[in-house]
Amino acid sequence: MIALGQQIENKFLTAVNKKSGNNILDCYQCGKCVSTCPVSSFMDFPPREIMQMIKLGLKDETYMANSMWFCLTCAACSGRCPREIDIPRVMESIRHLAIEENVNPDDPHVKNIRKFHEIFLDMVRRYGRNYELRMMAEFNIRTRNLFKDMHLAPKALLKGKIPIGHEKVKSAKAIQRMFKLAEKLENTK
Amino acid sequence: MARVGVFVCFCGANIADFVDVPAVVEEAKKIKEVKYAIDYKYMCSDPGQGMIRDAIVAHRLTSIVVAACSPRMHEKTFRKALSDAGMNPYLLEVANIREHSSWVHQKDKKAATEKSSDLIRMAVAKSIANEQLHEISVPVTKRALVIGGGIAGIQAALDIADARIPVVLVEKSPSIGGKMAQLDETFPTLDCSQCILTPKMVDVASHPYIELLPYSEVLELDGYVGNYKVKIKRKASYVNFDTCTGCGACWQKCPVKVPNEFNMGIDKRKAIYSPFPQAVPNKPVIDAEHCTMLLKGKCGICAKVCEKGSIDYAMQDEIIEREIGAVVVATGYDLWDPKPYEEYGVGRYKDIITSLEFERMVSASGPTGGVPLRPSDGKIPKSVVFIKCVGSRDEAKGIEYCSKICCMYTAKHAILLHHKVHDSHAYIFYMDIRAAGKGYEEFVKRAQVETGATYLRGRVSKIYQKGEKLMVRGEDAQIGQVVEVEADLVVLATAVYPYKDNPELARLLGISYDKYGFLSEAHPKLRPVETAKAGIFLAGCTQAPKDIPETVAQASATAAKVCGLFSGDTILKDPMISKVNTDYCSGCQNCVTVCPYQAIVTEEIPLGHGSKEIRTVAKINEGVCQGCGSCVAICRSMAIDLAGFTDMQIINEIVSI
Amino acid sequence: MTKLTYFPGCSAHGTSEEFDSTLKLVMKSLDVEMEELPDWNCCGATSAHVMTENLALALPLRNLVLAEKLDNKTMGIACASCYSRMKSTKVEMDNHPELAKKINSTIVEEGEYKGDVDVKSMLQFFYEDIGTETIAGKVTYPLKGLKIACYYGCLLTRPKNITQFDSPEYPMSMDNIVEALGATATPFDFKTECCGASFSISDTEIVLSLSGTILEMAKESGAHLIAVACPLCQSNLDMRQPDIAKKRGKKFDLPVLYITQLMALAFGYPLKDLKPSKHIIPIEQALSHIGEEIATPEVKKKPKKAVEAESEVE
Amino acid sequence: METEVKEKIVSIEKPHLEAPADWQPVIMGILCNWCSYAGSDLTGTSRLQYPPNIRIIRVPCSSRVDPWFIIKSLQASADGVLISGCHPGDCHYISGNYYARRRFLVTKKLLNFVGFHENRVQFSWVSAAEGPKFAKVVSKVTEDIKKLGPLHLYKKENI
Ligand SMILES: Cc1cc2nc3c(=O)[nH]c(=O)nc-3n(C[C@H](O)[C@H](O)[C@H](O)COP(=O)(O)OP(=O)(O)OC[C@H]3O[C@@H](n4cnc5c(N)ncnc54)[C@H](O)[C@@H]3O)c2cc1C
Ligand SMILES: Cc1cc2nc3c(=O)[nH]c(=O)nc-3n(C[C@H](O)[C@H](O)[C@H](O)COP(=O)(O)OP(=O)(O)OC[C@H]3O[C@@H](n4cnc5c(N)ncnc54)[C@H](O)[C@@H]3O)c2cc1C
Ligand code: SF4
Ligand code: SF4
Ligand code: SF4
Ligand code: SF4
Ligand code: SF4
Ligand code: SF4
Ligand code: SF4
Ligand code: SF4
C-alpha cells in the first residue's frame, strides 16, 4: 500500500518539471509510450508508470527504479506521445536528479550501465576520443565479467573491426580542462 | 447638474470579503456629482432593485451607477429597474467590482478597495455623459433560411415550417440526409437509421412551407436580423427536375464510373447519379467533373435513354435571391483524416479503414451487402481491432477535444460486427469510455457482456503487417503489459472535424468560429444555439460534435428561437449604434470602407442652408449598424459618434482617475 | 565543387572503417570535397548525457565551434549518434543563448559559438544537398534485382523537432536513394525501431532481443540485405547476428551494408573497395542477386469491390 | 534633428526622479466587449489573481479604440495602456479587430517616435475562453511598466 495525503506540496514533481522543461501533469496515462518503448519490458516501471509515480510524488521509488537507466533516448515514445511529453528528457532529468542525490539502484544491470558510461567518459577525458578495444577490456575487468564477448573478439580483431591502436585529440589538455570546468558548472547549480 | 446615485453590492461575501464596501461608499460620496450612495447585500435581488427604484424618485437622480458584478451579468436586470422607475434605462452604468476586483485581488484588500473606488469613479464620470437612448424597432421578414440538410437541418426546417413559417433549405450535395443517411443502426437503441430518417426526408420534400434547394450553396448574406438578403447558387445539375421521374434509366446506362462518396469509395457510382436509393429529391445530377459529354463533348447516352427528355447539357448555374429574417446553420461535420498516424501505416495498409467505412459495410443497403469485408482480399474478417480517439484527444497529431460520439459508435460497431459475423471477435483499444446519456452505459455493457468485446485500456502505438495479418500493438494498462493483437481488419474511430469550408461560410455569414472551424455559440451554457450575431442560430455538429439525440434537440431549439423572433411584426434592436454629424462630415468616405456591415452609404445634402449646391456626406443605416465603432475611430473629422460609447463617455472614464 | 566539413566520429575511425572509406569514394564521384574537422573530439555519445548535463553539451559544442573556423557551411556527420548529439546541442544552443554562453565558458580557448554552421547526417546531405537525381546520374552499375530493407534506426530522423528531416515513423529518403541506385527497397515496418545501440556492451541481452526483431522483419520483407547509415546500427545488426540467429534458432543471412558501400558499388567501384572482409555476415551471396529479374509480384486477384481511386470508363 | 529626437526619448523615458518606494503604476486597459472583456470576466469567475494596477474600460470592439484614447490615458494618469481584442478571425464584428490592429501599430510607431518606450502601450488577443491568458497578460504588462518606472510622476514634476 502506498500512503498518500501526508504531504500536500509535490516537490518531486516540481523538481522534475523544472529540470525537464515538461509538465508531467500533462500525462493522461494512455500508455502509448509503454508499447512504443523498445526496452519497457526490461524496466521496473515503464514510462507511463514513471509519470504516475512522479505525479504521486514517489521520489524514492522512482530513484530506485532501473527505468531511467534503461532508457535509450531513442525518442520513439516522445514522437508518439499525444500530450507531447519529452519522455527521454524526463528520464534524463530523474537520472540526473538521482545522480545528484547520490541514489543508486541495486539492479546489477544499472551498475553495469553506469560503469560502462563512466569508463566511456573516462576514455574521452583521457584521449578526447573513444578507444573501443580498451573500452571493452576495461568494462569487462571492472564488471568482473572477464570473458564477456570474448567469443566475438578474435573474429572482430581479425576482421579489423576493432582497431588495435587508437587516436588522440591533439589538444588533450583542452579536453581535460573542459571536463573540469563542466564538472564545476555541474556543482555550482 | 448631474445627480448620480451609486449602489454598491456586497454580493454576499463575494465582494464584501475582499473589498471594504462601506469605505467604497464613503469614497463615492466624495464625488461631486454623487448625490446618493448606499450598499446592499444583494443588489440584483428584488429588494435591491427596489432600493434603486425608490432612490431614483426620492433623490431625483439623473444617472445610476451600480457597482457589482460584470455588466455582462446583470446590466439588463438593472436597466429594467431604471425603466420601472420611469427613468431611461440607458442612464445606467455598471462598475464591475466583482470579476474585475474582488475576485482577482483576493490577497490585497487595500488595493482591491482602492481599485473598486476607481472603477466607480470611472463609471460615474461615464454616466454623466450618458444620453437617453431608445431601442430601435425594425420590421421582420418571416422566412427562415436553413443551411445544411443533415438531420439537424431537416429537423429545424420541419419544426419551423410546422409553425407555418416559410423555410428555404439549402443543401450542397444532391440529396438531404447528411451523415445519418450513411449510418446503419444507431445507438443507443439500435434502430435503423434509414427507417427513422427517410420519413422525415420525405416530409421535407412535400412540406408546403419548405422550399428545398439541393445541390446549392450560399454565396452572400446581407442585411441584419429580421431583414437579411441571401444569394444562393444553385449548381447546374444538367437534369430538369420538373420533368425527371427518377426512373434511373440514365444512370444504369452511363459508362463512366466514379468512386462513390456516399459509400466512402468502397464501390462506384456513375457520372450521372443519385447518391442513394432513398435520396430526396430522388433525381439524378450529372457530375460535371467526370461526365465525358461535359468534359469532351463525347457520349450523350443519358440524353438518348431519357424518355422524358430531362437531360440538358447546356444548363448553367443559377443565382437565387431570397429575403429572409433568420438563419439556421446546420452544416454538420466531416471526419478527420488520419494520415498523420504514420505509426499505424495509414495509407500503406488497405485493411485499415475508418469508422464510417465500416458503417457503410455493415449497412444492409451498403456496397458489401451488410457484411464487412477486408478491402485487400475481400475476405470476411474474424479478428477486428477498433481503435478509439484517433485524432481526438491528441494534441500532437490531431486535436485536443473529445469527439464525444466515437465511444458510443465503437460499442455499436462491436455489437454490429457480432451480429453480422458470428464467429468474429472485437478488440477495442480505448483510453476512457465516455457513455454519458440516457441508456448509454447500458448500451456499452451490452457490447462488453453480450458481445464479449475485449476492451483494452491503452492507445495503440504501432501497426505492422505480418503476412496477411495486421499486428496491432498497444499497452493494456490494466495489467501493465504490452499486448499485440493479430487482426484481419482495423477500424479507426477518427475524430469529428468541421468541414474545411466552415470558416469561409462563417465569414460570409459574419459569425465567428473556433480554431478548428466549429461555429461559435454566443454563450456556452446560456445561449448555446444562438450565435453572437442576432438572428443566426446553430444546430448540430457544425457547432461541436454531437450524436443524433443532441443534434435533434438543438435543432428544435433553433426552431423555437426562430419562431420567437418572428412572433411579432417588428423586432427591437440595441440603440448602441453610430450616427453621423453631417456638419463635420467631409465626405471622405473612410468610414464607408471600414464598416464590416456595409451600413454606411453616402447621401447628398445642400452645401449650406438653403444652398443649391450639394455635398456628399456619410449616412448610417440604423437598421444595419451593429455598433462596432470602427467608423468612429477612423473618422478624422470626428463626425461620427457611437451611442453608449461616445468619445465623451470614454474620455470621461479616462480622465477620472 | 561542393565543400563539406567531415566529422567522422570515433566509430568511422574505428570499427567502421569501410564506411569511412566508401564515403570518401562516393563523395569523390559526387564531386564533393570533404575536409575532415581538424582535431575533433568525441561527441560524448550516450554516456555524456546519461551521466551529466553540461558535459553532454560541452563536448559537441567544441566540435561546432571548431567547425565554424572552416569556410564550409555544412558539417556532415557519419554516425547517427554523433549526429544526434551534435544537432541537439546546436538546437539547444541556438534556442538558449544564455545556456550557450554558459557552456561556451568551458572551452573559451576554442572561441565563441556563433551558430552559423549547419549540421547534417550524411544521409540527409545525400538526400537534400545532392539529390536522388544526381545520384542516379552517377550510376554505372545499376543494382537491379537487389532487394534492400533500409534501416534508419532511431536517431537519423528523431526527434522530429531536432532533426527536421524525413519522417520519424516511416522515412523514405534512404529507400529513394536505394531505388536511385537501381535496387528495390522492400516495405519494412521496423525501419526506425531501436536496435539497442548504446547497450551493445553493457547489456547485450537487450540488443539481442531488439536487433533480433528487426532482422526478422527485414527477412519477412523479402530483402537480400539491409542498408544502414550508421556504424552503431551496422555493428549491432551484423556482429550480433550469429548470436541472435543461435538464440532464435533460425538463420537470417542478412548482410548489413552501409548506404555508401552500395553507392560505391553502383558508381562502378570494384567489390574489393567495399572491404567485404570486414563483414561478419558475408556480403557476396546477397550481391549476387544483382542482375536478377525481380518477379513482379503476382497480381493479386482484384478484391471484391475494393477501393479504387480513379474513375474509369467501361 | 535626429539627435534631438533621441535626446527627447531619453528625457521622456528616464525620469530624473526616482520612483517612491510605494509607487504603483496605473494601467489603462481597454477591452472589447465580446472577447477580452468576457475573458477578463472569466479570469474573475475562475478566481485567478493578477496585479491590481489595471483599470478596465469596456468598448464594443477593439476597432472602437481611437489613438486619442491612448494618448489621453498616458497624458492623464496612466503609466501604460493595454488594448485587448478578439483573436484574428474571431472578431464579433467580422473584421473590426483587423482594422484595430493596423491602427494600433501606426499609433505605437508614432508614440515610439516621440519617445515612449514600446512597452508602454501593448496589444494582446484574449478570447472569451482565455481567463488564464488574461491574468498572464496583465501580469506581464504590469511587470513591464514597473520596470519602465513612472510616467506621470515625472510629468507632474516637469509640467
Ligand atoms: C461512424 C459514425 C457512426 C455514428 N453512429 C451514430 C449512432 O449510432 N447514433 C447517433 O446518435 N449518432 C451517430 N453518429 C453521429 C451522427 O452522424 C451525427 O450526430 C449527425 O449526423 C449530425 O447531424 P448534422 O445534421 O449535424 O450533420 P451532417 O449529418 O453532417 O449533415 C450536414 C449536412 O450539411 C450539408 N452541408 C455541409 N456544408 C454545407 C454548406 N456549406 N452548404 C450547404 N450544405 C452544407 C452536408 O452536405 C450535410 O448534408 C455517428 C457518426 C459516425 C461518424
Ligand atoms: C454538484 C453538482 C454540480 C453541478 N455543476 C454543474 C456545472 O458546473 N456546470 C453545469 O453545466 N452543470 C452542473 N450541474 C448540473 C446542473 O445542476 C443541471 O444541469 C441543471 O441544474 C438542470 O436544470 P433543470 O432545470 O433541469 O433542473 P433543476 O435545477 O433541478 O430544476 C428543477 C426545478 O423544478 C422544480 N420542481 C420539481 N418538481 C416539481 C413539480 N412537480 N412541480 C413544480 N416544480 C417542480 C424544482 O423545485 C426545481 O426548482 C451540477 C449538478 C450537481 C448536482
Ligand atoms: S504517451 Fe505520453 S501521455 Fe501517454 S502515458 Fe506516455 S507519457 Fe503519458
Ligand atoms: S526514449 Fe527511452 S523511454 Fe522512450 S521509447 Fe526510447 S527507450 Fe523507451
Ligand atoms: S448584483 Fe451581481 S454582484 Fe450583486 S448580488 Fe447580484 S450577482 Fe452578486
Ligand atoms: S432517365 Fe430521365 S427521367 Fe429517368 S432518372 Fe434519368 S433524367 Fe430522370
Ligand atoms: S453524357 Fe455524361 S452522364 Fe450522361 S451517360 Fe454520358 S458520361 Fe454519363
Ligand atoms: S468519445 Fe470516446 S473515442 Fe471519441 S474522442 Fe471521446 S473518448 Fe475518444
Ligand atoms: S469618415 Fe467621417 S468625414 Fe469621412 S465620410 Fe465618414 S463620417 Fe464623413
Ligand atoms: S459602428 Fe460604424 S462601422 Fe460599426 S457597424 Fe455601425 S456604421 Fe458600421
Q: Are residues A128 and A70 in the same domain?
A: no
Report yes or no on D64 lying in a domain: yes
- Under 8 Å between Cβ of A75 and A61: no
d(CA A96, CA A67) in angstroms, rounded, equals 13
- Residue C173 belongs to what domain range? 140-296
Report yes or no on A158 lying in a domain: yes
Indicate the residue of B395, B458, B474 with minimum beta-carbon distance to A83. B395
pLDDT score at B414: 97
Report yes or no on C54 lying in a domain: yes
Point out which residues pair with C118 in neighbouring strands: C74
Q: Are residues A18 and A96 in the same domain?
A: yes
CATH of the domain at C16: 1.20.1050.140
Chains in touch with B (3+ beta-carbon pairs under 8 Å) read A, C, D
Indicate the residue of A76, A92, A156 with minimum beta-carbon distance to C158. A76
User: Of the candidates A60, A88, A103, which is a domain's last residue?
Assistant: A103
Q: Are residues A68 and A116 in the same domain?
A: no
Confidence of residue A150 (pLDDT cuts 50, 70, 90): low
Average pLDDT over residues A14-20: 95
User: B526 C-alpha to center of ligand 2: Å?
Assistant: 14
User: B337 C-alpha to center of ligand 4: Å?
Assistant: 28
Interface check for B103 against chain D (CB to CB < 8 A): the answer is yes
Q: State the DSSP string of B62-79.
A: SEEEEEES-HHHHHHHHH
Amino acid letter, residue B181: A
Interface check for C17 against chain A (CB to CB < 8 A): the answer is yes
Q: Are residues A120 and A182 in the same domain?
A: yes
Report yes or no on A185 lying in a domain: yes
Report yes or no on D153 lying in a domain: no
Report yes or no on D156 lying in a domain: no
Report yes or no on D61 lying in a domain: yes
Between C17 and B386, whose confidence is greater?
B386
Interface check for A52 against chain B (CB to CB < 8 A): the answer is no
Q: Are residues A99 and A128 in the same domain?
A: no
Among chain C residues, the shortest Cα distance to B258 is held by C311
d(CA B630, CA B182) in angstroms, rounded, equals 46
pLDDT score at C314: 47
Q: How many domains does chain D have?
A: 1
Cα dihedral sign for C249, C253, C259, C261? positive
Q: What is the pLDDT of residues D36-70, one digit of tens each?
A: 999 999 999 999 999 999 999 999 998 999 999 99
Report yes or no on D42 lying in a domain: yes
The answer to which of A136-140, C126-130, D5-9 has the lowest mean pLDDT is D5-9
The one-character DSSP state at D79 is S
Ligand 7 mutation pick, B301, B305, B310, B312, max ligand atoms within 8 A of CB: B301
Q: Are residues A116 and A163 in the same domain?
A: yes
- Residue D107 belongs to what domain range? 27-148
Q: How many domains does chain A have?
A: 2
pLDDT score at A140: 58
Report yes or no on A3 lying in a domain: no
Report yes or no on A147 lying in a domain: yes
The one-character DSSP state at C105 is G
Confidence of residue C307 (pLDDT cuts 50, 70, 90): very low
Q: How many domains does chain C have?
A: 2
Interface test with A, best of B389, B392, B434, B482 (most A CBs within 10 A): B482
- Residue A163 belongs to what domain range? 107-189
Nearest to B619 by CA among B608, B631, B611, B628: B631
Quick one: how far is CA B456 from the chain centroid?
35
Task: Give the ligand whose atoms come closest to the C-alpha of residue B393.
Answer: 8
Quote the minimal CA–CA distance from B479 to chain A in Å.
11
- Provide ipTM, 2 decimals: 0.80
CATH of the domain at C197: 3.40.50.11810
Q: Is B239 in the pocket of ligand 7 (CB under 6 A)?
A: no
Cα dihedral sign for C43, C49, C53, C55? negative
Quote the minimal CA–CA distance from C38 to chain A in Å.
9
Quote the minimal CA–CA distance from C282 to chain B in Å.
27
State which residues of chain B have pLDDT below 50. Answer: none
Q: What is the pLDDT of residues C92-116, one digit of tens each?
A: 999 999 999 998 888 888 889 988 8
Q: Are residues A91 and A119 in the same domain?
A: no
Ligand 7 mutation pick, B302, B311, B312, max ligand atoms within 8 A of CB: B302
Nearest to C195 by CA among C183, C180, C206: C206
- Residue contact C187–B465, C-beta within 8 A: yes
Point out which residues pair with B144 in neighbouring strands: B167, B326
d(CA B474, CA A40) in angstroms, rounded, equals 12
Average pLDDT over residues C3-8: 91
Q: Are strands B570-573 and B144-147 parallel, antiparallel or unpaired?
A: unpaired
Indicate the residue of C14, C58, C159 with minimum beta-carbon distance to A163. C14
pLDDT score at A166: 55
CATH of the domain at A75: 1.10.1060.10
The structural domains of chain B, ordered by start, are 4-128 (3.40.50), 144-235+317-332+499-565 (3.50.50.60), 249-305 (no CATH), 334-497 (3.50.50.60), 578-655 (3.30.70.20)
Q: Which helix (H) or strand (E) holds B47?
A: helix B46-58
d(CA B201, CA B274) in angstroms, rounded, equals 15
Q: Are residues A92 and A116 in the same domain?
A: no
Interface check for C311 against chain B (CB to CB < 8 A): the answer is yes
d(CA D105, CA B572) in angstroms, rounded, equals 37
Quick one: how far is CA D42 from the chain centroid?
20
Q: Are residues C86 and C167 in the same domain?
A: no
Q: Are residues C94 and C147 in the same domain?
A: no
pLDDT score at A40: 92
Nearest to C160 by CA among C192, C190, C130: C192
Average pLDDT over residues C148-154: 94
C-alpha cell at C12: 568511422
Confidence of residue C134 (pLDDT cuts 50, 70, 90): very high
List phi, psi (to 5°) of B570. -130, 165
Q: State the DSSP string of C180-200.
A: HTT-EEPP-TTTTS---GGGT
pLDDT score at D103: 82
Nearest to A32 by CA among A48, A16, A9: A48
Report yes or no on D72 lying in a domain: yes
Long-range Cβ contact pairs of A13-16 (< 8 A, separation 24 or more): A13/A54, A13/A55, A13/A57, A15/A97, A16/A54, A16/A90, A16/A93, A16/A94, A16/A97
Q: What is the pLDDT of residues C275-285, one digit of tens each?
A: 998 899 999 99
B-chain residues near A34 (CB < 8 A): 458, 461, 475, 477, 480, 482
CATH of the domain at D122: 3.40.50
State which residues of chain D have pLDDT below 70. Answer: 1-18, 89-90, 96, 152-159
D129-150 burial: b if 16+ Cβ within 10 Å, else e: ebbebbbbbbebbbebbbebbb
d(CA B611, CA B632) in angstroms, rounded, equals 28
Report yes or no on C310 lying in a domain: no
pLDDT over 60 (residue A153): no
Q: Are residues A129 and A92 in the same domain?
A: no
Report yes or no on A15 lying in a domain: yes
pLDDT score at B243: 96
Q: Are residues C63 and C116 in the same domain?
A: yes
Q: Are residues A89 and A116 in the same domain?
A: no
Q: Whose CA is nearest to atom 8 of ligand 6?
A: B244
Q: Are residues C144 and C291 in the same domain?
A: yes
Interface check for B472 against chain D (CB to CB < 8 A): the answer is no
pLDDT over 70 (residue C198): no
C-alpha cell at B143: 422566412
Query: In Å, how far are A21, B29, B32, B74, D44 from B116, measured between CA atoms?
Result: 39, 14, 18, 18, 14
Q: State the DSSP string of B408-435.
A: HHHHHHHHHHHHH-TT-EEEEEES----
User: B587 C-alpha to center of ligand 9: Å?
Assistant: 5
Indicate the residue of C170, C306, C311 with minimum beta-carbon distance to B256. C311
Task: Give the ligand whose atoms come closest to the C-alpha of residue B646.
Answer: 10
Helices D96-114 and D2-13: crossing angle in degrees, nearest 10, is 100
User: B492 C-alpha to center of ligand 8: Å?
Assistant: 11
Report yes or no on D18 lying in a domain: no
Query: In Å, how far are B45, B66, B120, B222 from B63, measured between CA atoms?
Result: 20, 10, 13, 37
Secondary structure class of C203 (helix, strand, coil): coil
Q: What is the pLDDT of residues A107-124, one digit of tens each?
A: 888 888 888 788 777 777
User: B637 C-alpha to center of ligand 10: Å?
Assistant: 16
Amino acid letter, residue A45: F
- Put simply, the chain D residues between 42 and 101 with a CB less than 8 A from any chain B CB are 43-45, 47-50, 52, 55-61, 63-69, 72-73, 76-78, 86, 89-96, 99-100
Supply angle C-alpha B252, B258, B264, rounded to 5: 110
C-alpha cell at D71: 494618448
Query: How many of the other CB atoms lie within 10 Å of CB of B292?
Result: 17
Q: Are strands C147-150 and C225-228 parallel, antiparallel or unpaired?
A: parallel
User: Of the candidates A103, A130, A148, which is a domain's last residue?
Assistant: A103
Query: Which regions of C57-209 does DSSP assign to beta strands (E)?
Result: 74-77, 118-121, 147-150, 184-185
pLDDT score at D9: 41
List phi, psi (to 5°) of B477. -65, -20
Query: In Å, how far are B332, B492, B541 from B335, measured between CA atoms?
Result: 10, 11, 11
pLDDT score at C232: 82
